[in-house]
Structure 1
Amino acid sequence: MMPDTAFPIRRVRTPVLDIAYEEHGPADGEVVILLHGFPYDPRGYDEAAPMLAEKGRRVIVPYLRGYGPTRFLSPHTLRSGQQAALARDLLDLMDALSIRQAALAGYDWGGRAACIVAALWPERARCLVTGDGYNIQDIPGSVRPLAPEMEYRLWYQYYFNTERGRDGLAANRRPLCQLLWQLWSPSWRFEQATYDRTAASFDNSDFVDVVIHSYRHRYGYVAGDPSLEAIERDLARQPAISVPTIALYGADDGVAPPDEGEGDPIRFPRLHARRVLPGVGHNIPQEAPGEVVRALEELLSGG
Structure 2
Amino acid sequence: MSDARDRLAHVEAGELDVEYADVGPRDGPAVLLLHGWPYDLHSFDAAAALLAERGYRVLAPNLRGFGGTRFRSEGSARNGEQAVFATDAVAFLDALGIGDAVVAGFDWGARTANILAALWPDRCRGHVSVSGYLIGSQEVGAQPLPPAAELSWWYQFYFATERGRLGYDRNRSEFARLIWHTASPRWEFDEATFQRSAAAFASPDHVDIVIHNYRWRLGAADGQDSLTGLEQRLAGRPTIAVPTITLEGDANGAPHPLAETYRDRFTGPYEHREIAGGIGHDLPQEAPRAFADAIADVDAMARQDGDRAGMEAHGGR
**TM-score, reference length from structure 2:** 0.92
Percent identity, aligned pairs only, is 44
Q: What's 2:261 paired with? A: 263
Could you tell me which runs of 5 or more consecutive residues in structure 2 were left unpaired when the two chains were aligned.
305-317
Secondary structure of the residue that 2:116 maps to in structure 1? helix
Moved more, 3-12 or 225-234: 3-12
Deviation at 1:75, TM superposition (A): 1.0
Alignment-mate amino acid for residue 66 of structure 1:
G
Deviation at 1:270, TM superposition (A): 2.0
Alignment-mate amino acid for residue 148 of structure 1:
P
Q: What's 1:77 paired with? A: 76
Secondary structure of the residue that 1:46 maps to in structure 2? helix
2:88 aligned with 1:89, yes or no?
yes
Q: What's 1:11 paired with? A: 10
Could you tell me which runs of 5 or more consecutive residues in structure 1 were left unpaired when the two chains were aligned.
none
Q: What's 1:137 paired with? A: 136
Q: What's 1:251 paired with? A: 250
Note closer, same or farther for the CA distance 1:108–1:134 as it changes in structure 2 (3 Å cut).
same
Secondary structure of the residue that 2:220 maps to in structure 1? coil
Alignment-mate amino acid for residue 38 of structure 1:
W
* Separation of aligned partners in 2, 1:193 and 1:61: 20
Secondary structure of the residue that 1:183 maps to in structure 2? helix
* Separation of aligned partners in 2, 1:272 and 1:173: 38
2:169 aligned with 1:185, yes or no?
no
Note closer, same or farther for the CA distance 1:276–1:180 as it changes in structure 2 (3 Å cut).
same
Pick the structure with greater CA Rg. 2
Q: What's 2:39 paired with? A: 40
Q: What's 2:287 paired with? A: 288
Alignment-mate amino acid for residue 277 of structure 1:
I
Q: What's 1:240 paired with? A: 239
More helix by share: 2
2:30 touches 2:56 (CA, 8 Å); kept in 1?
Answer: yes
Write out aligned runs for 1:112-131 (5 A): 112-131=111-130
Secondary structure of the residue that 1:39 maps to in structure 2? coil
1:79 touches 1:209 (CA, 8 Å); kept in 2?
Answer: yes
Alignment-mate amino acid for residue 144 of structure 2:
P
Corresponding pairs, count = 300
**TM-score, reference length from structure 1:** 0.96
2:4 touches 2:45 (CA, 8 Å); kept in 1?
Answer: no
* Separation of aligned partners in 2, 1:156 and 1:39: 12
Note closer, same or farther for the CA distance 1:138–1:82 as it changes in structure 2 (3 Å cut).
same
* Separation of aligned partners in 2, 1:99 and 1:137: 27
Deviation at 1:4, TM superposition (A): 7.7
1:249 touches 1:258 (CA, 8 Å); kept in 2?
Answer: no
1:25 touches 1:54 (CA, 8 Å); kept in 2?
Answer: yes
Cα-Cα RMSD: 1.4
Write out aligned runs for 1:47-62 (5 A): 47-62=46-61
Moved more, 5-14 or 132-141: 5-14
1:251 touches 1:258 (CA, 8 Å); kept in 2?
Answer: no
